[in-house]
Amino acid sequence: MKLELRAPNGSISGSVSVNSKVFDAVINPVLTHQVVVSQLSNERQGNASTKNRSAVSGGGAKPRPQKGSGRSRQGSIRSPLWKGGGVTFGPNGRNYSHKIPKKMRRKSICGLISDKVRSGQLIVIEDLILPEYKTKYMQALLKALVGNSRVLLVTNKIDESILMCARNIPAVKMLPVQLLNSVDLSNNRILIMTIDSVREIEKMWG
């Protein structure tokens, strides 16, 4: 299949042939949801922790006699009923990570990319060429291409100069093609890829 190729100024400069296995794949919503949920779960730290009554220091002696005071029976000042005591059924660390097979991740990414193609939300550009490496020139390039939409900018490799231009723009996220993932594809409306990144993704998953 063929996609439109755009120049940095936003004009159509031709077309580019792409692999239909990557850019015309069938999207599986259930699989994509599973991959996205798993990726978000893997980002959770799960390190919240509390101490129960046996872990809190002190409280070895009985705070008052069992009988005679007219007050309740108490065995330790580290009981959960006391201020400064242990926590009942509190969190003690938890592993939220899920394992997702590579083939599932790959199928999810290809399905999301293909969905962008079908909805007209994928833009392939020749190269990221700016008059100067300044944020205002990057903003002008993106405005010519997509207007004010949220953008995922994918390149073959991270160019530090380009990254410095794009990092201060709130609605733009930049990734190398090797770190492309389902969450970022779902969160950003427009996907912009350079020809080099298209060829690299075909080499990896085509």
- pLDDT tens digits for range 85-103: 999 999 988 899 889 999 9
| C-alpha to C-alpha distances, 177 to 6, 54, 59, 86, 198, nearest whole angstrom | 19, 50, 57, 49, 8
Q: Which of 2-6, 95-99, 165-169 has the highest mean pLDDT?
A: 95-99
Q: 135 and 59, same structural domain?
A: no
Torsion of CA 55, 58, 62, 63, to 10 degrees: -120
Contacts of 103 (CB under 8 A, 6+ apart): none
Task: Round to whole Å and give the CA distance between 32 and 154.
Answer: 20
CB 18 within 8 A of CB 202: yes
Q: How many CB atoms lie within 10 A of CB 105?
A: 18
> Nearest-5° angle of CA 155, CA 158, CA 160?
135
Task: Round to whole Å and give the CA distance between 137 and 131.
Answer: 7
| C-alpha to C-alpha distances, 186 to 17, 18, 90, 102, nearest whole angstrom | 25, 22, 34, 18
CATH of the domain at 140: 3.40.1370.10
Q: 24 and 122, same structural domain?
A: yes
Last residue of one domain, picked from the residues 95, 116, 137:
95
For 144, list phi and psi in degrees, rounded to 5.
-65, -30
Q: Is the pLDDT confidence value at 182 over 80?
A: yes
Residue-number span of the structural domain to which 195 is assigned? 2-28+97-205
Q: 56 and 24, same structural domain?
A: no
Does residue 113 sit within a domain? yes
Overall pTM surpassing 0.85 (yes/no): no
Q: Per-residue pLDDT tens for 54-93? A: 999 988 899 999 999 999 999 999 999 999 999 999 998 8
Q: 59 and 18, same structural domain?
A: no
